[in-house]
Structure 1
Amino acid sequence: MNSFTPATSIDGQAPPERSSGDEIVRLVDVRRRFGATPALDGISLTARRGEIVGIIGRSGAGKSTLIRCLNGLERADSGEIHIEGRDIARLSEKELQPLRRRIGMVFQHFNLLSSRTVEENIALPLKIEGVGKAERLQRARELLELVGLADKAKAYPSALSGGQKQRVGIARALAARPAILLSDEATSALDPETTRSILALLKDINRKLGLTILLITHEMEVIRSIADRVAVIDAGRIVEEGSVWTVFANPETEIAASLLSGARPQLPEHIAARLSPSSGTEAILSVDLAGPAAQGALFAELSAALPRSFRLVHGGIDHIQNQPVARFFVAVPTRDATLPAQVSDFLKARSARVEVLGYDN
């Protein structure tokens, strides 16, 4: 549709044609301190055209500072922040103004003006730019159609549900046809059903407009639902990064594993609570599999090779980014002291990641 053609470039000219691999955002060794405290401690990250990148971390990890540096509200102490090829650290405040129009923001608490109608809220960024009333209201109507609220143009925010308010916030963020959409905990104030609908909307917008989206969140389910890549931030550093399914399948850091704990099968608490670190009648193993290894008849093969060598305790298979990701917990008898090692070696030889969690009686 003509309504959703790409925006002009920062300089007001039509942007050049780019491939889907172009970098829209590039951060190089970005640092920001507040007194003696490093909020960002050497952040390097890229996001390409049409990509959804999730940035996840606990409260205080540096997510808010990162997003404020990305939209130019905070100045980094050092490093480079490139938006569509321009380093914003080298721009004056006046030069930053047109660049900020290339960055749409979606907030946790909507930030709608209660005294303005839905269409007026959406059109506000264009009014600030000096766009004529007819044109900006036309754009607002187009965006209301996109976010599924065509019948709410004349309503006021007080008459909307939380999910509807966030849809208005998304429409407003798109008003100036940005190249990047920054989503700052956009679903954390919403119930699970509404969260799923908002994430589906963001994915639909990403697909229709080819829009680059950076999701700032502390919820791994948000990342899992729509992101292409995930970067885990902790104490101002990116400690882990990769495609969503590979990080889910094999978290390499303790913080990533902790953030994933609610999204992956966990050993039932009543079993975990009684595990001994050194002895018992059964060794309890966690078994992680991904990709082709998760699709095979692994446990049937194990049972044939080592009869009566294990029992399944808990777990299952999921699909993330169309890739199978599995986690199981198995109990291996210790009557033969070598049996746990035999089972572990068998599974590892077939690309499983295996860890002995403890011993049960």
Structure 2
Amino acid sequence: MNQHFATTAETTDQTAATPQDVVRLVDLKRRFGATPALDGVSLTVRKDEILGIIGRSGAGKSTLIRCLNGLERPDSGAVFIEGREISRLGERDLQPLRRRIGMIFQHFNLLSAKTVEDNVALPLKIEGRPRAERLQRAAELLDLVGLSEKAKAYPASLSGGQKQRVGIARALAARPAMLLSDEATSALDPETTRSILALLKDINRQLGLTILLITHEMEVIRSIADCVAVIDAGRIVEEGPVWSVFADPRSDITRSLLGAIRPQLPADLAARLVPSAGTETILRVDVAGEAARGPLLSDLAVAVPGSFRLVHGGIDHIQQQPVGTLFLAVPGSDAGHLAHVITFLKARQARVEVLGHVANSA
């Protein structure tokens, strides 16, 4: 597992970076009046990986992007792009470094008066490349994103998904070191979103390209990211491999963001829960990795005599790792039996939470 987030004791000296670091932020701070937009953010995006940064609106994502591409200067801290600190550079020196980051936008930002191939070739035109070279590169990239037949079309004739594919091709034109995806699928329907995410994953594998995803959608992170960082009020509050964070979210904001896609207790049963003892106690059991691979419930039945039942849940796979959430009902009349069930599950590296009790059998 890569460690993405540096301590504040780290120096901003370039020697602290490694050749695998495409982007490195060190103790980045930016305030607007009395409000801290970034409050000590340190992170590293390494070559070939897909890192997702997720947070609610106002969490600091937009300011982070603007510091990355040099549009915003931090109050303190450092921004390294491929080992070079950019936060104090002038506009002329920033331009070549900005080309090392390809941007994919939520609303595509295509030029309506230009053809698809000319939109894709635009970064190369800005660089002053010959037209023949620009068009050859555009043709290669349109083939990569599956839109060769649309080269002479105009953006108005394209669907949303096709426009985003053009945007991805344009972002790749100058052969960047990293793609920065800013809510790139937020304006798309679910089916189109899946196809765009599959394309980004394919580009990551084929080209060995680093991708930084900025999003508020956990499903986007789940689909393609290797690691995830959760930002809240300008701070990184949680980070790690996607499967690990999904299996055992530690912060309240992460649990809230995951609420829509993690298994939840059925509403009819949740409505019957009471805080005091009843005939059954409902447990939420979260397991991942090795704990989720074995016959957990069969072993529980053998090791802890007495009844329990599975009321909801199952095992999913994220990044080829099993991640499970099980809801168990344990008879509430025997406190000793309940304690033994919980002790056994925790010994198997499961995270156990008592959700409440039901007075009548569910």
TM-score (norm 1): 0.93
The answer as to 2:172 corresponding to 1:160 is no
- Aligned partner of 2:35 in structure 1 is 37
CA contact (8 A) 1:291 1:325 kept: yes
Deviations 1:128-147 (A, max 9, x none): 11111111111111100010
Displacement of 1:21 in angstroms is: 7.1
Residues 309 and 343, structure 1, Cα contact 8 Å, conserved in 2: no
Cα gap change, 1:21/1:280 in structure 2, threshold over 3 Å: closer, same or farther?
farther
Opposite residue 334 of structure 2, the aligned amino acid is D
Which of 199, 218, 221 matches 1:220? 218
Q: Which amino acid aligns with 1:161?
A: S
The residue that corresponds to 2:50 in the other structure is 52
Partner Cα distance (1:92, 1:327) in 2: 51
Letter in 2 for 1:133: R
Give the aligned residue type for 2:269: I
Q: Secondary structure at the match of 1:90?
A: coil
Match status 1:194 vs 2:192: yes
AA aligned opposite 2:323: V
Paired position in structure 2 for 1:17: none
8 A Cα contact 1:25 1:46, kept in partner:
yes
Deviations 1:268-323 (A, max 9, x none): 11211221122221111000111111011110111122344211111010111100
Mapped to 1, the partners of 2:219 and 2:253 lie a distance apart of 15
Query: Could you list the per-position Cα deviations for residues 47-100 of structure 1 after superposition, in whole angstroms to 9, with x for gaps in the alignment?
Result: 110010000011111111111111111111110111100111131121101101
Aligned to 1:15: none
Instruction: Give unpaired runs (5+ residues) of structure 1.
Output: 1-19
**Of the candidates 326, 351, 354, which is equivalent to residue 353 of structure 1?**
351
Asked if 1:329 is matched to 2:327, the reply is yes
Q: Any idea what SS the aligned residue of 2:298 has?
A: helix
Regions of 4+ moved over 6 Å = none
2:24 maps to 26
Number of residue pairs the alignment of both structures matches: 342
For 1:104 and 1:345, locate their aligned partners in 2 and report how far apart those are by CA, in whole Å: 50
Q: Output aligned runs, 1:119-138, within 5 Å.
A: 119-138=117-136
**2:284–2:328 contact (8 Å) kept in structure 1:** yes
Q: Work out the CA distance in 2 between the residues paired with 1:254 and 1:243.
A: 18
Determine if contact 1:283/1:356 at 8 Å carries over to the other structure. yes
Q: Is the 8 A contact 1:283 1:331 kept in 2?
A: yes
Conserved in 1, the CA contact under 8 Å of 2:73 and 2:88? no
Paired with 1:115 and 1:273, the residues of 2 have a C-alpha distance of 56
Distance 1:345 1:278 in 2: 21
Aligned-partner SS, 1:224: helix
CA distance in 1, matches of 2:103, 2:338: 52
Retained in 1: the 8 A contact 2:315–2:325? yes
Identity between Structure 1 and Structure 2 (%): 75
For 2:240, the aligned partner's letter is G
Deviation at 1:342, TM superposition (A): 1.2
> In the alignment, does 2:118 pair up with 1:114?
no
Q: Any stretches of 5+ residues in structure 2 without a counterpart?
A: 1-17
- Over the aligned positions, Cα root-mean-square deviation in angstroms equals 1.1
The aligned residue for residue 82 of structure 2 is 84
Query: Matched residues in 1 for 2:133 and 2:167: separation?
Result: 19
More displaced 10-residue stretch of structure 1: 268-277 or 168-177: 268-277
